[in-house]
Amino acid sequence: TSAEQNTAPGGEGGVVPTLVAAARGEATPHTPVWFMRQAGRSLPEYRALREGNAMLEACRRPELCTEITLQPVRRHDVDAAIFFSDIVVPVQAVGVDLDIVPGVGPVVAEPFRTRADLDRLPELTPDMVTDITESVAGVRAALRSDQALIGFAGAPFTLASYLVEGGPSKNHENTKALMHGDPELWNDLCERLAAIAGAFLQVQVDAGADAVQLFDSWVGYLNRADYQRFVAPHSARVLASVEGRVPRIHFGVGTGELLDLMGDAGAEVVGVDYRVDLADALERTGGRHALQGNLDPALLFAPDEPLMARVDEIVEAGRKAPGHIFNLGHGVLPTTDPDVLTRVTARVHETSGR
């Protein structure tokens, strides 16, 4: 649990990043805040840098990656940077032919369906991603010691869904057909993906990431029994790869029914989407975990009065949790006015400050 964490690698001069302290359940000067997808299309400075650079190329070029990661931190004064990358970067790094198509998402040239496809998923070794090491170290060096750098990886289920479906999917039917039709192949596929995701997290922590988030974005499409049988052991292995080194955040969309299982998979912090009240999330996770969340990203389009009232409610509800990291219930929508994110950050700092 959160109390078992060692010292934070990024906190120089004895200063622990605010987000790390909250994740460990320690007292903080204010509730730390960051936003999923804070680096990206809502920022004009991001769109300018991305001009003429494909997404996956931008992720692999340290000068671009570092700058894009830092843009939202400078602009909003959030308490954490989320490393600018994508869940498919480590899969591409081991040689899988895929692309990120603008407005669509990751598209895999040849979907994974058979045992022979496992050969396309060798181990990820640090020499395959030296640019990631360089970028993470560059970002960490540019942050204040009270700010955190969050590394991340995609969880085996969500990665498998992209590989098996060949791209984004509404119903994940091919993924579920494989899971139930050939459990052995499913498990072997997820084992490979867990090894790759775990190695990707280790590279980021070795280079200075202060915390990690495991994104299992689409696992809310499963029931509890299937989650426990086909997914949790693999996600647990990824989380275990950095156990005791940095706090681990575990997040998925529509996972209200799975929150306790996601915490039990080995995370100090459970990410909560906007459909579940934090008070309910606290009850469902038995008070064993800090919580992260959970403002509805669509509320950023509402007038300030109802928006800030909701922000205050979330901060208040978070005080009852063992620790609270303010965030959205899913990623920033591309058409969000970035000034609203700056104001929400200031509001969280103000209302939560001691």
How far the first Cα of the chain sits from its last, in Å, is: 25
- Flag whether 206 is marked binding: no
- Flag whether 144 is marked binding: no
304 is catalytic: no
146 is catalytic: no
Q: Residue 82 or 242: which CB sits closer to ligand CP3?
A: 82
State the angle between helix axes of 156-165 and 183-206 in degrees (0 to 180), rounded to the nearest 10: 120
Angle, CA 35 vertex, CA 301 and CA 102 arms, to 5°: 80
Task: Provide, rounded to whole angstroms, the least separation between the CB of residue 50 and ligand CP3.
Answer: 6
> Which of 79, 86, 264, 273 is the catalytic position?
86
Q: Residue 36 or 179: which CB sits closer to ligand CP3?
A: 36
281: phi > 0 → left, psi -120 to 50 → alpha, else beta; which? Answer: alpha
Other Cβ atoms less than 10 A from the Cβ of 320: the count is 12
Q: Which residue is nearest to ligand CP3 (CB)?
A: 217
Task: Provide, rounded to whole angstroms, the least separation between the CB of residue 327 and ligand CP3.
Answer: 10
- Flag whether 221 is marked binding: no
The CA distances from residue 241 to 188, 207, 235, 262, 266, in Å, are 18, 15, 10, 16, 10
Q: Residue 147 or 322: which CB sits closer to ligand CP3?
A: 147
Distance (Å, whole) CA 25 – CA 317:
15
> Which of 162, 221, 227, 274 is the catalytic position?
162
> Which of 41, 113, 120, 275 is the catalytic position?
41
Q: Are 157 and 218 in contact (CB under 8 A)?
A: yes
- Flag whether 162 is marked binding: yes
Distance (Å, whole) CA 119 – CA 95:
10
Distance (Å, whole) CA 290 – CA 321:
6
Task: Provide, rounded to whole angstroms, the least separation between the CB of residue 3 and ligand CP3.
Answer: 27
Other Cβ atoms less than 10 A from the Cβ of 307: the count is 19
> Which of 24, 50, 237, 284 is the catalytic position?
50
Q: Which residues of this protein are in contact with ligand CP3, per CB under 6 A?
A: 36-41, 50, 55, 82, 84, 86-87, 100, 102-106, 152, 215, 217, 331
41 is catalytic: yes
Task: Provide, rounded to whole angstroms, the least separation between the CB of residue 101 and ligand CP3.
Answer: 7
Q: Residue 17 or 40: which CB sits closer to ligand CP3?
A: 40
Q: Are 132 and 59 in contact (CB under 8 A)?
A: no
Q: Are 278 and 293 in contact (CB under 8 A)?
A: yes
Task: Provide, rounded to whole angstroms, the least separation between the CB of residue 54 and ligand CP3.
Answer: 8
Distance (Å, whole) CA 310 – CA 293:
12
Q: Residue 4 or 51: which CB sits closer to ligand CP3?
A: 51
Distance (Å, whole) CA 10 – CA 35:
20
- Flag whether 37 is marked binding: yes
- Flag whether 229 is marked binding: no
- Flag whether 217 is marked binding: yes
What residues does 150 pair with on adjacent strands? Answer: 82, 211
Q: Residue 105 or 312: which CB sits closer to ligand CP3?
A: 105
Task: Provide, rounded to whole angstroms, the least separation between the CB of residue 353 and ligand CP3.
Answer: 25
Q: Just list the catalytic residues.
A: 37, 41, 50, 86, 162
Q: Which residue ranges are tagged as binding site for substrate?
A: 37-41, 86, 162, 217, 330
Q: Which residue ranges are tagged as binding site?
A: 37-41, 86, 162, 217, 330
